[in-house]
Chains A and B, each alone.
Chain A
Amino acid sequence: MMIVAIGVFVIGITFTVVLSFTNSKLFPSFNFVGWRQYEILWSTPRWVQSVTNIWFYGFGHIVLCMGVGFALAVAMDQRIRGEDAFRTIFLYPFALSAVITGLVWQLMLDPIWGFQAFVRSLGFADFTFAPLANGETALIGMIVASVWNGVGVTMAILLAGLRGIDEEIWKAARVDGIPAWRTYVSIVVPMMRGAVATALVLLVVNVVRTFDIVIAMTGGGPGIATQMPATYVIDNINSRNVGHGMAAATCMLAPIAVLIIIQAVFRWRASRRGRTTS
């Protein structure tokens, strides 16, 4: 286990960082050029746009997934009939790869084949709905598709968290006459902190590595409107500019590293207080 951890992960990450200071082309070379790749990187409009995009996309994706996911989980938790069927339906999109999701939504949002053409065929000749064709709305179209794909998992995790709450707590809250929404916000959610944290971490990781849905839906376009850091890295590696790609990859790694450190600090503080965060 240790060998795998060190061999694959630590060495892999070290190589990424080291190569980012070289001018490696197709093959790795150790011709060091200092911070040059980073200077070029942050003066390249496509990279800057990619970084802006991922913040916007990430914020939209996480907020919507958490919001809608929690709402669905609460709805499922009302002892409804046919819960299994609903759970399957909501979870089903996640069984599709992001590529399939992207292609399906791309087709639906396509002005010539999709929703716009359908409404026009009903007689509304001036109806326009082509979010992916416009650089200012393409990212929103992508968020909608990715939420459709990912919300089921968030729902499932949060639902598991809800089910982990002792029935006695609900009874106690009811006896005290606390309204249900208040019980959720003030008692239940803090108690299922672990489930929320898990769902959040999964969403963040999903966002950072966003790649396939971009390729399937827009190819990064229109123009560079939906480019993401991951597509930038891959394009640079594929166009035999490995050093530059690695500089971009290192920049992608940095926020994740910060998150891991923050998490580690929290856990350390929690363990000092003599309890574990579930």
Chain B
Amino acid sequence: MKSFFPVVAMVAAAMLGSTAVRAADVEVIHWWTSGGEQAAVSVFANEFDKTGDKWVDNAIALGETARAAIMQRALGGDPPDAAQFNPGRQYEELIAAGLLLDLTPLAEKEGWDNFIRPEQIKAPCKIDGKWWCVPVNIHMQNWAWASVAAFKKAGLEVPTDWDTYLADLPKLKDAGVIPFAVGGDGGGWQISLLANQLILAQLGAETVEKIWKDKDLALAGGPEVLKAFQTLKTLGSYADAGSPNRSWADTTSLVISGEAALQVMGDWAQGEFQVAGQKPGTDYACLLGPLVPEPKYVRTGGDIFVFFKQNDPDVERAQLSLASMMVNPKVQALFNTAKGSAPVRDDVDMSLANDCMKKAIEVLKQPGSVVPDANQWRNEAFTTAQNAIFSDLIYNANTTPEAAQAQFVELLKNAE
């Protein structure tokens, strides 16, 4: 038995090649747990394992829960090696406290500045000239996903604008279809996402920034925003009884099965349609805007990875190797096709992407089309409070759009 271990070690060393580096485990916390997300994250895991290091998967369902776990570990002095966040202010304290690995040398060596675009994707990671995280995808949130079969059941065509859809709602209900699919888990982030897209549709790209970035209270309390709140209230009244604590993926599966007609959700929902083997155009319709005939804007969010300092040169080397792999053009193509998102670089072969994604990438290329998600401007405490306001509006029959708008203005006033 004693002689067995050196043999194994020799074989392992031989497999790694003649370099003297020792393979390291890299523990990654993320919240990619749905079918489509799993397909995407296995691209990272498999490609990384091929390099000789090992991806140790630590998937925690629901972003809010996963981020809380990451922070607890960081506070407790045992951070994971890599962790997922949404771009914006979710990790600002980690940078300030010096807990993160500085990726600047790697980024400069590989020239991330030259190929990662647009600026709005770069900005949350490159802060004061230093790279603190790796953007891995561009998610576009302002999509609606519609079931062709569900609309057909009610004798309708899939609508292309809000007015038609709002008029269709009672007919869909009469046909026994859930007219509007939405889920309220995690405090209501799905409803916030929906509300933000409705406000964007009302205000347009230039103006909408003023609310979350500049805290323009007059605009937030104005008639356009009220209209969005009213639409939200109407949509909520057409949701089903199972909605309150449902995840986005379970909600999407209702659209996939044709039980529900339409869901407003980011492009990660597309991964679910792919896993279910559905084709855009025939089985489901993707409506950018959402539901705008000539979409001009994309509301971008996405995912980034931060790497925690570990004081172990082997782990640090593996961490940098993972960071480099994540922006590799081939990995970007495979990952983003599975995830339903757009790559963070322009020189990626997206021939595998479907028509929906190609449409979005065209819009993304237009100057002035990109509207960053509110996460970029406001911190997570704000987001949590905002979720409560929007989900109260949708699920509480006694809350009026006017009252919810007043709460929203009050929240903005107190926001830091």
Q: Which residues of A contact B (CB under 8 A)?
A: 23, 25-27, 40, 43-46, 49, 106, 110-112, 130, 132-136, 138, 218-225, 227, 235-236, 238-241, 244
Contact = CB atoms under 8 A, between A and B. Distances in A.
A222 B71 contact: no
Q: Is the interface of B mostly helix, strand, loop or mixed?
A: helix
Interface in B121-146: none
Q: Give the most central of A49, A135, A218: most B CB within 10 Å.
A: A135
B67 A238 contact: yes
B74 to A, nearest CB: 8
Contact of A132 (B67, B244, B385, B407): B244
A120 to B, nearest CB: 12
B381 interface: yes
Contacts of A227: 388
B88 interface: no
A224 B67 contact: no
A44 B385 contact: yes
Given A26-B71, A26-B75, A219 B384 contact: no
Contacts of A44: 385, 411
B163 interface: no
B244 A221 contact: yes
A133 B416 CA distance: 34
Closest CB pairs A-B (n = 8): A223-B395, A241-B381, A222-B395, A222-B244, A26-B93, A238-B68, A133-B241, A239-B380
Given A40-B414, A111-B241, A219-B184, A236 B384 contact: yes
B400 interface: no
Contacts of A23: 416
A239 B384 contact: yes
Contacts of B391: 221-224
Nearest to B393: A223
Interface string B392-407: 1111110100000001
A40 B241 CA distance: 33
Given A239-B380, A240-B381, A110 B392 contact: no
16 contacts: A23-B416, A26-B71, A43-B410, A44-B385, A46-B389, A106-B245, A111-B241, A130-B241, A132-B245, A135-B396, A136-B397, A219-B184, A223-B394, A223-B396, A224-B396, A227-B388
A27 B243 CA distance: 36
Interface in B222-258: 241-245
Interface stretch (B185-193, B315-323, B357-365): B185-193
